[in-house]
Amino acid sequence: MPELSRSKTSKLSNSYSTMNISKSGYRVFSANSTTACTELAKKITERLGVELGKSVVYQESNRETRVDVKESVRGQNIFIIQTIPRDVNTAIMELLVMAYALKTNCAENIIGVIPYFPYSKQCKMRKRGSIVCKLLASMLAKAGLTHIITMDLHQKEIQGFFSFPVDNLRASPFLLQYIQDEIPDYRNAIIVAKSPSAAKRAQSYAERLRLGLAVMHGEAQCSESDMADGRHSPPPLSSGRTTSGHPGLELPCKHQAAFPGIELPMMMAKEKPPITVVGDVGGRIAIIVDDIIDDVEDFVAAAEILKERGAYKIYIMATHGLLSAEAPRLIEESAIDEVVVTNTVPHEVQKLQCPKIKTVDVSMILAEAIRRIHNGESMAYLFRNITVDD
């Protein structure tokens, strides 16, 4: 009997040991239905030394998204890698459906690895629009995500939209390394901010490379139309005369009687000055830094101005290379010498169209972030020498 008891105890102990190993494990899945978008996931799993989780993500004939998880995820930490192709909304649905499927199958934690966070430009209220980025954050939480790893959010304040932790990694160490290794005579370069809003990021690069800084001011920006949005409906004046600056706008007498006269100070219209460059770029290599390069018209115009001011080479450094529409053709025909982006967004087709586009691999830092989160280690090492403005 004692031997039988010991045998049962041993089997029970082995059972608990197996269960604990299973519970403490983790799986890495890709939520993309297109082959081009799974390349980053494959690189990350290779660095981690694990296999990509078995799942099928596809679109049915009516364009509905379907996800089938082909292995047990019960009690495990699950990492979903989702790179965002041009079909942004399909990618979001793939991520939401997969997260909900994993939640339904009793995954312990579901961590989304979203190198480029979509809708990040729609993070501010504009007129009668909405803050779509906050809506997406709420949808991800509702689907079951408990943590997000991303890279270079368009605005760092976006982290406040989430009800769970967000690790906003930086690509700047990889881009800085590229500048030092791949740009000959980079000591003769100057870091350029394409707009005053990008000056802090440019300053961070300039300080770490010990280079000068130039800021472009007055470039064309997206102007908001004032037509039919209520801005040309001034309050009535007590004297019954028309409002200054708005001839012909006079309320009927009944409205003037109902609302007492109000006279507001006139708002001066904002006028953009001609494009100017604050800083000397003559005889230098100009390196424009930004977080996203999508429609490249502004970058092409900036390159022309810098060429006129004497810069003999022009590089563009950006984390996310969306490169939509005619971007490859415009870059190829422009004064830009090279565009360097990371592989947070797949852009192999664009590279075939324009040999000026170069890629920096950031799978290393994403893989290390996954390892540290799973093991409960500090993430501080990944942010060493990173400034607040980076």
Question: In sequence order, what are the residues at sequence separation of 6 or more whose Cβ sits closer than 8 angstroms to the Cβ of residue 66?
Answer: 56, 57, 58, 59, 60, 97
Provide the CATH number for the domain formed by 26-169 in this structure: 3.40.50.2020
Q: Residue 80: which of 20, 146, 19, 165 has the closest Cα?
A: 146
* Residue 190 near residue 251 (C-beta atoms within 8 A): no
Query: What tokens were used for 1?
Result: 């009997």
Q: What is the pLDDT of residues 274-332, one digit of tens each?
A: 788 999 999 999 999 999 999 899 999 999 999 999 999 999 999 999 998 899 999 99
Residues shown for the chain: 390
3-state secondary structure of 1: coil
| In the chain, ranges of CATH 3.40.50.2020 domains | 26-169, 172-220+275-360
Residue type, 103: K
Q: Which CATH architecture has domain 172-220+275-360?
A: 3-Layer(aba) Sandwich (3.40)
Q: What is the pLDDT of residues 28-57, one digit of tens each?
A: 999 987 887 899 999 999 999 999 999 999
3-state secondary structure of 230: coil
pTM over 0.85: no
Q: What is the pLDDT of residues 336-379, one digit of tens each?
A: 999 999 999 999 999 999 999 999 999 999 999 999 999 999 99
Percent of the chain scoring above 90 in pLDDT: 69
